[in-house]
Amino acid sequence: MNKIIKNMLLILCTIGVMCLLPVFLLHDAPIPVDVVRLDMQELAAQKEAVAKAEKQARSQARVRRVYSCSVDEDCIIVEKDPCGCTIGPSGVTAINVNHILDFNSMNNQKSVTKTCPEQVSKERECSPSARPVCKAKRCSISY
């Protein structure tokens, strides 16, 4: 008897599902789906933005490498500007000695014919006691 009741319940459930199935499957309106559509200009702009971000990341990594160090002997004082210390502390910096070529290509000193002041700056970075040191794994100038 128990088996008969169980089978009757299964038949009723099956009939109920069969009756409700068309309600779920037959909709008058299709389910809306948003699809992002990119035209060629937007796609090119996205590619350009990605390329620009990658170039900037490479440039930042290059800058970190140029200024990175592990000991004081890794560092050297170089001129950021063709006038060097005559324009003050902004004319010099300390970099890793192994990356001088990278620094020169980044610095890109095009204006070699620029007029420089006559006197050398008296700032600490330009004093005779200034020396390159490695502080927190970064080259800097100590006075």
pLDDT digits (tens, 9 = 90+) for 109-129: 555 566 777 776 667 677 778
The one-character DSSP state at 122 is: -
Longest dimension (CA), the chain: 114
65 assigned to some structural domain: no
The one-character DSSP state at 139 is: E
pLDDT lower than 50: segments of the chain? none
6 assigned to some structural domain: no
Q: What is the pLDDT of residue 109?
A: 58
Host domain of residue 134 = 73-109+117-143
Q: What is the pLDDT of residue 55?
A: 92
Cα angle vertex 72, ends 67, 78, to 5°?
A: 50
How many domains are there within the chain? 1
3 assigned to some structural domain: no
pTM to 2 decimals?
0.58
